Amino acid sequence: MKHANTTFIKSFGFSLLVLLAALPVSYADRGQHAGRGEHTSRGGKATRVQSLRAPSLRAPAQRGSALVNRSIHGTIRHVDTHAFARPLSVGRDAYVQQRVITHHDVEVDVNRSRYWHGFVFGARHHALRSGYVRILVNNSPYFYDDGIYYQQTGDYYQEVYPPLGANIVQLPDGAVEVFSGNIPYYYAAGAFYMQQNGGFIITSPPMGVTVTELPPGALQVSIGAGMAYQFNGIHYRPVFANGVTQYMTFMP
């Protein structure tokens, strides 16, 4: 009898231990999936499915792993083929930190209208809109407004090509980051900018880089047997890059 009692106590104690050990697991599991379970009307199947759900599925993204950009979406087979590290801090403005477009998904078709899309070389205006800035480039006065440069001629402000050496504080809206080797440039309205001393300066165009759109008003020209575009002395040749038409700078 004493032996039986001892066995019973041992068994009970063991069961109690198992129970105590198991309950937190059960509760943890319920807590983890309760929210999602409410959205599922199919009781049995849902419970089983939930128990299979890997609790750490979102973990990699939530752990703050480096963000990436992709030039192509819509494939699992090549999901990582065109994934690149996202620049950590790129700003149009050293103070405001507005964002620069660091990549385009080439397939995406969204109408992105920029102020500088309206650039017409030689167009004259009686007045500039508010927000323009005066700048000096090689001792010549210019007026600058979001990608468009003007020079005063008599009573007019005339739209001119982006002058080499112009130094601006903020990149034009929609400036796109392009790389020549490992050197980053920012392209907008037919000008290539480099970051310098807290601002951005127009530099000579790097050859062999592709941009997603032509400058506004680029002229079609014949180069040998081929066709190209020209804007402010810079030549662009259409090429298929990442499967869509883009434009590569070149020296004719």
Partner 1 sequence: MVALGCAAALSCLGGCATSPREAGAEGGTATQAENGDRAKPVIDPQADELMRRMCDYLAQAQTFSVTAEVWQDVQLDSGQQVQAGRTVDLQVRRPNRFHAEVHSTRHSRGLYYDGTSITLLDRVHNLYGTVPAPATLDDALDVASERFGITLPLEDIIVSDPYQSGMGKVTSGILLGPVTVLGVACEHLAFSLGTVDWQLWIEQGARPVPRKIVITYKDEEGTPEYAAILSNWDFQTTLPDNLFTFEPPAGTLMINVAEIKSENQARKNGVK
Rule CB under 8 A: which of 168-187 touch partner 1?
A: 173-174, 179, 181-182
Q: Does the protein bind partner 1 through residue 237 (CB under 8 A)?
A: yes
Q: Does the protein bind partner 1 through residue 112 (CB under 8 A)?
A: yes
Q: Of the two residues 54 and 251, which places its CB atom closer to partner 1 in the complex?
A: 54
Rule CB under 8 A: which of 123-162 touch partner 1?
A: none
Q: Of the two residues 145 and 173, which places its CB atom closer to partner 1 in the complex?
A: 173
CB contact set of 16 (below 8 Å; sequence gap of 6+): none
CB of 84 to partner 1, least distance (A): 5
* C-beta separation of 250 from 208 below 8 A: yes
Q: Of the two residues 136 and 239, which places its CB atom closer to partner 1 in the complex?
A: 239
Q: Of the two residues 94 and 183, which places its CB atom closer to partner 1 in the complex?
A: 183
* C-beta separation of 166 from 137 below 8 A: yes
Owner of token pair 């070389």:
121
The distance of Cα 85 from the centroid of its chain, to the nearest Å, equals 11
Phi and psi, residue 18, nearest 5°? -60, -40
CB contact set of 132 (below 8 Å; sequence gap of 6+): 143, 144, 145, 150
Rule CB under 8 A: which of 19-78 touch partner 1?
A: 19, 21-23, 25-26, 29, 40, 42, 45-46, 48-49, 51-61, 65-78
